[in-house]
Structure 1
Amino acid sequence: MNLNISLAPLLALIAGILVLLVPKLLNYIVAIYLIVIGVMGLLGIGSIHLR
């Protein structure tokens, strides 16, 4: 059984859960998420799949 999980949706899920648990972290989580997605896009590694 193969399980394909994209990195961006996984990060979005983790960020969403953290925002629900600790709303004060929203600014930091959004900033870190945007930086990570931007760096991944620039380096062309946006399509990494975990198996």
Structure 2
Amino acid sequence: MAVLSFTLGWSLFTTNPPMRAHLMLAMNPEQSFEAGLQAIAAGFGCSGDGR
């Protein structure tokens, strides 16, 4: 569910021209999307005790 929510939210923000322009001031949307997916995937591997 986390990946679906992240992807849907990301697509809504990046397909909105004013929001995309705002996001591009702070980050590269393509690189940031990949980093976000990697962070979610890393969280799936977490045992819950910080490892």
* TM-score scaled by length of structure 2: 0.49
Higher relative CO (Cα under 8 Å, sequence separation at least 6) belongs to 1
Give the number of the structure whose residues are more often strand, by fraction.
1
* TM-score scaled by length of structure 1: 0.49
Give the number of the structure whose residues are more often helix, by fraction.
2
